[in-house]
Amino acid sequence: MSKIPETTYCFKEGEVLLFDKPLNWTSFDLVRKVRAAIKRHLDTKKIKVGHAGTLDPRATGLLIICTGKKTKTIESFQAFEKEYIAGLHLGATTPSFDTESRIDKEYPTEHINLALIEKILKTFIGVQEQIPPVFSAKKVNGQRAYKNARKGIDVEIKPSIIEIKEIEILKFELPELIIRVKCGKGTYIRALARDIGVRLNSGAYLTSLRRTKIGDFSVDAAMSVNDFKEQLDNELLI
C-alpha cells in the first residue's frame, strides 16, 4: 500500500518528499530516479531535485528529497539531528570499517559482556573529535578520500567535531551488537563502530545501517520509488 497521501503536489514551487532508500543505491541514484519520474509526469526537460544529506550505498532508510524552490532549504535539513539503527560485528576489523572490504584483523571477545558495552557506550555521549573513514566522501586536497583509499594511496584525514546525543543497546549476542544512535551533523557511524571496538580492547566493524529519523521526519512516513511512480501513474500529483 502506498504511503503517499492522496493530495496534489506542485513540484516546481517546491515539495519536501520522504523516501526509504534501498540497499546498494547511492543517494544520487534515488535523486536521479525521482527526477526522471517527475520530468516524465510534468512533460518537462528540467526540474530542480536534490537530497538533504548523503546516505551510504550500504545503508538504507530515510532520505529527504526536495524539488523546485524547496531545494533552497536543503542546507537546513542537513543540520538536523539524525537517528540510526546500526549493526556491529565485534572482534574483527575491516579497512573500510564496514562490509565493503574484507576482514583484515581479528581480536579476542571473551572479555566483552553487556555491562562492559553499556559502560563503554556512555563514554561516547557528548561533543568529541572523530576521524572520518578513509573510505568516505570527505575531501582531502580536493579529492574524495575513498578514491585514493581504493587505489591503496595513504590518506590522512583530520578529525571532525561531532556530537553523539544518545546510544541505546537494542540487541547483544556475541559477536553481534545492534544499537540505536542519535547524533549531530557530520557523524560517521562506521567510524563510531571502529572506535567502539578500540575502546572495548577488541575490534568492530559495521554490518548494517538504517537511518530512521532526520529531525522530526521519520522513515515510517517515507515511501519507495515504486510508491511514488504509482501515484504519478494515477495522476494524483502535478
Quick one: pLDDT at residue 9?
Answer: 79
- pLDDT-based confidence at residue 136 (cuts at 50, 70, 90): low
**Which pLDDT score is estimated for 48?**
95
pLDDT band at 232 (very low <50, low <70, confident <90, very high): confident
Average pLDDT over residues 70-98: 95
Q: Which CATH architecture has domain 16-79+216-233?
A: 2-Layer Sandwich (3.30)
- What's the burial of 200, exposed, middle or buried (CB within 10 Å: 0-12/13-18/19+)? buried
| Residue 148 binned pLDDT confidence (cut-offs 50, 70, 90) | low
* pTM, entire model: 0.89
What is the predicted pLDDT for the residue at 235? 61
Higher pLDDT, 113 or 2: 113
Same fold, 16-79+216-233 and 82-214: yes
pLDDT at 2: 44
Least confident of 39-48, 62-71, 115-124: 39-48
Whole-number pLDDT of residue 21: 98
Say if domain 82-214 classifies as CATH 3.30.2350.10. Answer: yes
User: Average pLDDT in the 167-186 region?
Assistant: 97
Residue 238 Cα distances to 27, 41, 228, angstroms: 24, 7, 12
* Stretch 152-167: mean pLDDT: 84
Average model confidence (pLDDT) across the chain: 89
Instruction: Please report, for the chain, the start and end positions of each structural domain, with discontinuous segments joined by +.
Output: 16-79+216-233, 82-214
Specify the range with the lowest mean pLDDT, choosing from 4-18, 30-44, 67-81.
4-18
Contacts of 84 (CB under 8 A, 6+ apart): 61, 180, 181, 183, 189, 209, 210, 211, 212
Name the residues annotated as catalytic.
56
